Amino acid sequence: MTAALAGIRVVDFSWIIAGPMTTKMLGAMGAEVIKIESALRPEHMNRGGAFPILNNNKRSCSIDITRPEGQALLRRLVAMSNLVVENFSARVLKKHGLAYEDLTAVRPDLIFVSASGVGRTGPQKDGLAYGTLLQAYSGRAGMIGEPNLKLEAMGILPVWTDQVTALWETLAVLAAVHHWRRTGEGGHIDLSMLESTVALLPEALLRHALEADGNAPAGNDEGDAAPGGCFRCAGDDAWIAVSVRSDREWEGLCAAIARPDLQVEGQYKQQRGRLDRKRDLDALLASWLRDRDAAAAETALLAHGVPAARTRRFTDVIEDPQLVERGVFPELPDGQRSIALPWRDADGGRGTMAPAPALGQDNDYVFGELLGMGRDEIDALIAAEVIR
């Protein structure tokens, strides 16, 4: 398979989640990603938590970007690269002479991607933002569950905004590379994490703007399923999700729960009538499921064509034969399981996958091979703590 991003070099200043997830995907598509790191930053030193999952497919170059000598080296590196990815606060790169305007002086066709909380323009552009707070600001946290002092089950955990930001960011980069190959033009992409999240909440906004009755779907309410939702089964914290959205699924449900009498009842014949009586139908299904084994109920419902799935924990998911067969969580040579690209090609490929690099692992490649520096020059910069 020809690599989509063959010949594309990325200078990656990003950190935390969204940016690293973006550049990991770019690396999986064949780009050469050079992650700019520093022994001065705890995240780069520790490399714990999700770091090995978010930083595959990259080279690591450690350099102190606060030092003028380091900045000069980085400008030389950018001059021989196609893409810069960053998520600093607005003033950091400007202070270091590494802003878009500074870098296009050495690389006019550079593609430069900034991801920030609310974007690099507008009245709140200098505000401080974190992904979890943006999940609240986007409005989704007020829809998934009732806001509560313990931050439970309301869409603050797990991380969402960073993940959708990474998708939009990668999408924007790919489209920009497509344009660059066609026209030779680069450009500046200014991506807002807030907008990335809100863009996926259209029905809530449309309902409000149209003063329409009812709420957008949220949590376990799909809006168009009756019965439908998440129901308790027998056993310790056992749950099942069921969706009945069509006449065929309704007939399947009536058969699965052995209630042919319901199927002939006029008020339930059509979807509209079932939605009007959703509360009753949900109660009926809940009582059928309450004392049943979730796995057995799932099998019975699926056998009758009713969408159903017992709620699974990650331990079940990672060993699911479907996901194993499709290579969703590949094992890397260092033994670490990771996540691959979210699609497969006809050969089952999900992009190249390499373990996350050690800090500064590729310094010799970057400073020696790419920038053409000699051993003495590199050693002098190490001694001067510019490379660290």
Partner 1 sequence: MPIAVASSRPLRLLDGVRVVEWAEGISAPFCARILADLGADVVKLERPVTGDPMRAAGPFLPGDNTSNNSALFAYLNAGKRSATLGVSAAPPGRDLDNAGLLVESHGAVDPEALQREYPGLIVLSVTPFGRTGPLRGTPSSDLTLQHRAGWAHAMARPVDEPEALAPRGGADHEAPLAVGLAAAMAAIWGLLVVQAGGAPPCIDLASYDFYAQLGFADLADWSAGERAFGRLRVRRDGTEAAGGLTWILPCATGWVMVSPREQHQWDKWIALLGSPSWSADAALCGTRVVRRVNFFPLQEKMAAWSRQYPPAEVARRAQEVGVACFPVSTPGELLENAQLLHRGFFDRLRTASGDVPMPGLPFRMAASGGEALARERALRSPTLGETS
Report the residue number, 191 or 387, with the smaller CB distance to partner 1. Answer: 191
Are 40 and 64 contacting, i.e. CB atoms less than 8 angstroms apart? yes
Residue 330 contacts partner 1 per CB under 8 A: no
> Is residue 326 close enough to count as binding partner 1 by CB under 8 A?
yes
Contacts of 64 (CB under 8 A, 6+ apart): 38, 40, 70, 385, 386, 387, 388
Is 189 among the residues that bind partner 1 (CB under 8 A)? yes
SS3 of 26, please? helix
Residue 78 makes contact with partner 1 by CB under 8 A: no
Q: Answer yes or no whether residue 348 interacts with partner 1 by CB under 8 A.
A: yes
Helix (H) or strand (E) holding 243: strand 239-243
Residue with tokens 């933002």: 129
What is the closest distance, in whole angstroms, from the C-beta atom of residue 375 to partner 1 in the complex? 34
Decide whether 292 or 310 has the Cβ nearer to partner 1.
Answer: 310
Under the binding rule (CB under 8 A), the answer on residue 86 touching partner 1 is no
- Scanning residues 36 to 55, which ones bind partner 1 (CB under 8 A)? 49-50, 52-54
The DSSP secondary-structure symbol of 346 reads T
Binding flag, residue 6, partner 1 (CB under 8 A): yes
Residues 257-276 touching partner 1, rule: CB under 8 A, are none
| Contacts of partner 1 in 103-132 (CB under 8 A) | 104, 108-110, 118-119, 121-125, 127-130, 132
CB of 22 to partner 1, least distance (A): 10
DSSP 202: H
Given a contact cutoff of 8 angstroms between Cβ atoms, the answer to whether 250 and 263 are in contact is yes
Give, as ranges, the residues between 7 and 36 that touch partner 1 (CB under 8 A): 7, 21, 25, 29
Half-sphere exposure of 5 toward its Cβ, with a 13 Å CA cutoff? 27
Q: Out of 105, 234, 296, 317, point to the residue binding partner 1 (CB under 8 A).
A: 317
Q: Which of 241, 216, 362, 222 is nearest to 294 (CA)?
A: 241
Q: Which of residues 286-305 bind partner 1 (CB under 8 A)?
A: 302, 305
> What is the DSSP track for 363-380?
HIIIIIIIT---HHHHHH
- Interface with partner 1 includes 206 (CB under 8 A)? yes
- Work out how close the CB of 351 gets to partner 1 at its nearest, in angstroms, rounded to a whole number: 9
